[in-house]
Copies of this chain bind each other. A is one copy, B any other.
Amino acid sequence: MPSPPRIIARGRHLNLLSRQGWEYATRPRIGGIVAVIALSGDGQIVLVEQYRPAVERNVLELPAGLAGDTSQTRGEPLVEAAKRELLEETGYTAARWQRLFDAFTSPGLTDESLTFFLATGLSRSGPGGGDASERITVHTVALHEVDAFIARRCRDGCAVDLKLHAGLRFAERVP
């Protein structure tokens, strides 16, 4: 039986809610969140690295972003958000798109859910680097070297986003 949450606080981008005594954060006014496993024909994966104020560090991630969060993108299909975020963040377009799976990022703390897409047949089509509010570094890394790459970046103070590990499990199974 669904029960409406109680609003504890409204921020500009996040709200703090409580349901059945359980507190959690939510992003209102979005259509979903997409994450992209972008693989080149020669076995490389496209990663992004960006500074995250919440953790005061650079974080290695998959290309990802919010769907339908602006007046220009309201109602956009998730795959269109995935195409837009991949191009904005990395400069790549992809010939083939496949929706893979959904997962909750941290269901004890938020109702945030990610939808993962596999993007293959990559072409460089723009500069990447993110939108006006973002400063993103693109790393194109051979899958068989990705653990060594992550370890090296972590030694330099970078951190890792959970969705990168989750995405790698699927990337490594693509024939």
Which partner residue on chain B sits nearest A25 by CB separation? B25
In the complex, whether A152 has a CB less than 8 A from a CB of chain B is no
Shortest A134–chain B CB gap in Å is: 11
Shortest A108–chain B CB gap in Å is: 7
In the complex, whether A153 has a CB less than 8 A from a CB of chain B is no
Which partner residue on chain B sits nearest A15 by CB separation? B16
Contact A109 B162 (CB under 8 A): no
Residues on the B chain within 8 Å of A24, using CB: 14, 25, 53-54
Q: Name the segment of A70-78, A79-87, A97-105 touching the other chain.
A: A97-105
Given known pairs A23-B13, A112-B106, the reply for A163 and B160 (CB within 8 Å) is: no
Contact A14 B25 (CB under 8 A): yes
Which partner residue on chain B sits nearest A66 by CB separation? B108
Q: Mark A46-60, 1 if CB is under 8 A from B, else 0.
A: 000000111110010
A165 contact from B53, B55, B56, B169, Cβ within 8 A: B169
In the complex, whether A144 has a CB less than 8 A from a CB of chain B is no
A111 contact from B27, B55, B103, B161, Cβ within 8 A: B55
In the complex, whether A11 has a CB less than 8 A from a CB of chain B is yes
In the complex, whether A18 has a CB less than 8 A from a CB of chain B is yes
Residues on the B chain within 8 Å of A25, using CB: 14, 16, 24-25, 109-110
Between A and B, 11 residue pairs with Cβ closer than 8 Å are: A11-B16, A13-B23, A14-B25, A16-B25, A24-B54, A25-B110, A55-B113, A59-B104, A106-B110, A106-B161, A166-B169
